[in-house]
Amino acid sequence: MRGRRTMDTPARVLKTRPDSLSTKQGAITRDAAAQKFVVNYFRLRTVPTWVLHQYRVDIAPEEERTGTRKYLLRSHQERLGGYIFDGTVLYTQSRLTTQQNPELTLTSSNREGTVFTITIRHVGQVDYGDYAYVQVYNLILRYCMTALGLQLVGRDYYDPAAKISVPQHGGMELWPGYKTSIRQHESSILNCVDVTWKVMRIDTVLDELRKLHQRWTTTEELEAAFRDEVAGCVVLTKYNNKTYRVDSVDWGKNPASTFDWRGEQISFAEYMKRKYNIGIRDMKQPLLVSKASTRDRRAGMAEEICLIPEVCYCTGLTDAMRANYRLMQELAVHTRMDPGKRIQKLMDFNQKLLTNQQAVAKLKMFDMSLENNLVTVDGRVEVAEQIICGGNGTTKKTHDWTRDLRGKPLLTPKILDYWVVLVPTQLHADTMSFITAGLQVAASGMNFNMHDPQIVKMQSGNAGEYSKVLDKVLDQSQPKLIMCVVLGNRAEVYSAIKKKCCVDRAVPTQVIQAKNVTKPQAARLSIASKVAIQMCCKIGGAPWTVSIPLSDLMVVGFDVFHDNKVKGRSQGAMVASLDQAMSRYYSTVTAHRTGEELSTNLAASVVCALRKYREVNDGRLPGRIIIYRDGVGEGQIPYVITTELNNVKVALNKVYNGQDVKMAYVIVTKRINTRIFTNERRNAPPGSVVDDVITDPEKYDFFLVSQSVGQGTVSPTSYNRMPVVNVHKTV
């Protein structure tokens, strides 16, 4: 079913902080007010200085269940003393072996009486300050979380005892849990804790297959529908509490199919019976295929893992569920926690760690203890930028400045003199009312001249009809923009429209759902204002700008989309500003399968953007370039610096041919667990910056709150500036 895991030694965090930088803290000025914040970190009160011995543990016959492996070793606790064991790697405070005999062999029996041989091999010594030292902290903490009754699902711990049932939506459960990470920060070792949730569906993948069986009659239709349903999904196998990403379905195999296990041919059903005492009922179901990641393959896991749908449980939400407004609102009641409630959950969790007898004993065994309260930090709040509209008009400096846009002229308005609206017949009257009493009124107030459109009525409003009608319209004329009114949130219709108008025929489109054109007049005007702004931008206009102090500046943004259906296939998207107002952009999309392709494509895309910049700026190149790079994991940073960034520098040198150019390369990370609050247990306001205490001492990094939320807890963004050398200058 899966290969045996071997020890994978983690690498150190790559240093990006310049040696000459004594502090990362920005100055407090009239444009940045000092502010104290509370963050979701607990300080490690006692920092132990023990020396640990590291061992590799092998168990024969093979036993892959981590819980059973820990049980087998636990019977030798007196012999081992204080230890930490994650299922493969063992850490002890005292050495168990000698240099002459680096192996220790023990025997132990499981609950069924099977005898196992445990071989413990000395790997090395972990000294204070080593990267693995911090990893041990996390292993100790994970043991404590198990002591609290939390259950490991995937990589995080959840509380099944506190699950919330949501039975009216097909049957699902919400499991509350915690994400934790202990690591060295600027001057202290801190434990970052955040609340998380896992959507657990009570139906199996086989249940989903049976539902599809009732809808599709032919084998081809059923197989295609099932593949589309499960490809890219994450499933949970409760027998070992592991999660797997499904890549494909193997209809040529079923539970009766055999594979080689320990030198013998055994069926998948028999394997489940022997290993987990689970009987498989449906012997005709196909098998799911999960391809191991590069990291898992390095750790010894088989390249492909076959899973039986009958014992796989769906996790997460389907597209149909996400489109269900009532379901999402019901889930949000529990998952969208305001700062006060989130802080209380964190405090309660930390208190359990400090009072649970098993957890306290484990922490004490390794001379560890945590502080009672969350960490406070000194930061600052940057003054809000002034939004500049047409005619030098400005908006109020508030987080919700878009409300103030009504009645103000756009920065660069355009004339929409010929455009077409495709609308289902039953929505014709509502759409006309939305256009005349909503869109055109809002556009007029913004100095956006919007003429009456040509209306094309649709019959069914399905994807095929939209494609045919769009072809007919574009064969007869060249409208500046086409608006498509669609019935509901239907992905296939949206995809058909965008494919036809972005790939096959180049014409701007504005897709709007039926629910937005049928709302009451007051609500429609708010929607119409936003839609009018989008439409103006799509035909070359610009809504607003801010004052940019740096001249000759190009700002580049690059992100990566990973295909859920086809593993290894990704798309890179880049945008680059072309003018001082940051209102005109060059954009491009490139496909890639490897990191080498990505880095080559990024450099080539930057060159294309520079050519476009030179074209629209009378032959002049930008004197400064800031590249914001999203979609980079911690382990990819060395590659970004050594390969990707170097490719960009080489490309710049060729384009500039010896001219001076200043460049900054910044990695942006949005999916982080850090949360920043005010002392009053509210969300940190937009513009809040934290660049000390919780930042990484090895990085040139900071946190910025760049948004405001009406519900829940705001998420900051992490920025990490890369070292740029051998380029003419840096910003």
- For the sheet containing 287-291, what is the strand order? 248-250, 287-291, 304-307
From the candidates 207, 430, 559, 692, give the one annotated as an active-site residue: 559
Q: Is 630 a catalytic residue?
A: yes
Q: Is 159 a catalytic residue?
A: no
Q: Are 24 and 16 in contact (CB under 8 A)?
A: no
Helix (H, G, I), strand (E, B) or coil at 572: strand
Q: Which residues contact 627 (CB under 8 A, 6 or more apart)?
A: 556, 557, 558, 606, 648, 663, 664, 665, 666
Q: Are 447 and 416 in contact (CB under 8 A)?
A: no
What is the C-alpha separation between 134 and 91, in angstroms, rounded? Answer: 12
Q: Tell me the backbone φ, ψ of residue 502, rounded to 5 degrees.
A: -105, -35
From the candidates 250, 430, 630, 692, give the one annotated as an active-site residue: 630
What is the C-alpha separation between 586 and 562, in angstroms, rounded? Answer: 22
What is the C-alpha separation between 624 and 209, in angstroms, rounded? Answer: 55
Query: Helix H segments across 617-674?
Result: 637-639, 645-656
Helix (H, G, I), strand (E, B) or coil at 546: coil
CA 607 to chain centre: 28
Q: What letters, b where the CB count within 10 A reaches 16 and e where it falls short, cover 498-524?
A: eebbeeebebbbbbbebebbebeeeeb
What is the C-alpha separation between 632 and 641, in angstroms, rounded? Answer: 11
Between CA 678 and CA 686, with CA 684 as vertex, the angle to 5 degrees is 155
Closest CA to 84 of 131, 33, 42, 132: 132
* HEC readout, 111-179: CCCCEEEEEEEEEEEECCCCHHHHHHHHHHHHHHHHHCCCEEECCEEECHHHCEEEHHHCCEEEEEEEE
Tell me the residue type at 273. K
Tell me the residue type at 642. T
Q: Write down the residue that tokens 């000194």 correspond to.
A: 378
Bridge partner residues of 627 (DSSP): 556, 665
Q: What is the dihedral of CA 606, 611, 612, 617, to 10 degrees?
A: 120
Cis peptide before 424 (omega within 30 of 0): no
Active site residues: 559, 630
